[in-house]
Chain A
Amino acid sequence: MAPLQRRAFYGLLIGFIWIVAIIVVFIVDGGVSAFNEDQGFRLTIDGLWIGGLIAYLILFETILRRPGHVDERDKLILDKAPRFQWLAVIFSLVAWVIALSESYRDEGQVPVVFLYLIFMSVLIVSMIGQAIGILIGYRRMR
């Protein structure tokens, strides 16, 4: 397994754990309605979010700075990954639109906290999309 492929695999694993952790914290701490009132809840979510982003940055940035670890094929795969990232971002946006419009159709209003959640989820999905794009790239190049 190539070093970049291994990192992408770890990235995918971290991404799923990251999403599950955020969902669990959200459910345990009272959900969307408690988010505005509970500062501890907000800080926990912020910690998880920023911590995950830093973990991803370390995972991929460190390998790109080591010339021996990445060859031309790896670079080509890495270059194609943004396509998957882009698709993942667009599909997650569409999923948010459908879910929110269906859930809040009667009220006609969506809580402001969802803006924060949309932005946060799109960043997470983008990171996971990159990892999936790299893994698919290796599979196609076999």
Chain B
Amino acid sequence: MTPLQKRAWLGLGVGVGMSLSIAAVFIARGVASFDDDLVLRAIAYVLCVGGLLVYGVTLRIKRRKPGRSEVLIDERDKEIVRRAAMAQLWAVLLSLFIWAIALTEVYWGQKSIPIVFVYLIAISGLIVSILAQAIGILIGYQRMR
């Protein structure tokens, strides 16, 4: 397994972990109570910031083995990363599109949406972006075999 693949698997784990834990917290304490529930807000922020920090650490995986000149990321890896960046961008746009349609349809009668959804849109954008990059890289390797 190449370092980039390892990084993609870690990114996938972080993304899935973040989304599951945030979803679990919101389901357990209720989306509607976000404005009044300080604990819910604190847990959500900690999960987001913590997830991003862990993800940031996975991005620090070295390009060369310590003390060796052997390059761990080659031209093929760079090409895969390039394509994954495009997948990342499209995934974020698609997630926004889905949020816009779903919330417009659900809250059309009220003509307004609870403020918590604005936070959820931004949080989901970040998570989708992490997941899409990881999945894009893994699919890239699968196709290049």
Give A contacts to B, CB under 8 Å. Answer: 36, 79, 82-83, 85-86, 89-90, 93-94, 96-97, 100-101, 104-105, 107-112, 114-116, 118-119, 122-123, 126
- In the complex, A109 Cα to B116 Cα: how many Å? 9
Is B46 positioned at the interface, with any CB of A under 8 Å from its CB? no
A93-B125, A96-B122, A115-B99 given; A109·B104 CB < 8 A: no
A–B Cβ pairs within 8 angstroms, 9 of them = A36-B111, A83-B85, A89-B89, A89-B92, A100-B115, A109-B114, A112-B103, A112-B110, A116-B100
Separation in Å of the A115 CB from the closest CB of chain B?
A: 4
User: Within the complex, which residue of A108, A115, A116 is in contact with B115, where a contact is CB–CB below 8 Å?
Assistant: A108
- CB neighbours (8 Å) of A83 from chain B are 85
Chain A residue at minimum C-beta to C-beta distance from B102:
A115
**Residue among A83, A94, A107, A108 with max Cβ neighbours from chain B (10 Å):** A108
Give B87-101 as 1s and 0s: 1 = Cβ < 8 Å from A's Cβ atoms. 011001100110110
A93-B122, A122-B93 given; A109·B100 CB < 8 A: no
- In the complex, A21 Cα to B88 Cα: how many Å? 29
Chain A residue at minimum C-beta to C-beta distance from B107:
A112
Separation in Å of the B57 CB from the closest CB of chain A?
A: 19
Of the four ranges (under 10, 10 to 19, 20 to 34, 35 or more), the interface on chain B belongs to 20 to 34
Is B59 positioned at the interface, with any CB of A under 8 Å from its CB? no
**Is the CB–CB distance between A109 and B85 below 8 Å?**
no
- In the complex, A118 Cα to B95 Cα: how many Å? 12
**Is the CB–CB distance between A118 and B104 below 8 Å?**
no
- CB neighbours (8 Å) of B119 from chain A are 97, 101
Is B20 positioned at the interface, with any CB of A under 8 Å from its CB? no
A90-B129, A97-B119, A101-B118 given; A115·B89 CB < 8 A: no
- In the complex, A58 Cα to B117 Cα: how many Å? 35
- In the complex, A119 Cα to B101 Cα: how many Å? 10
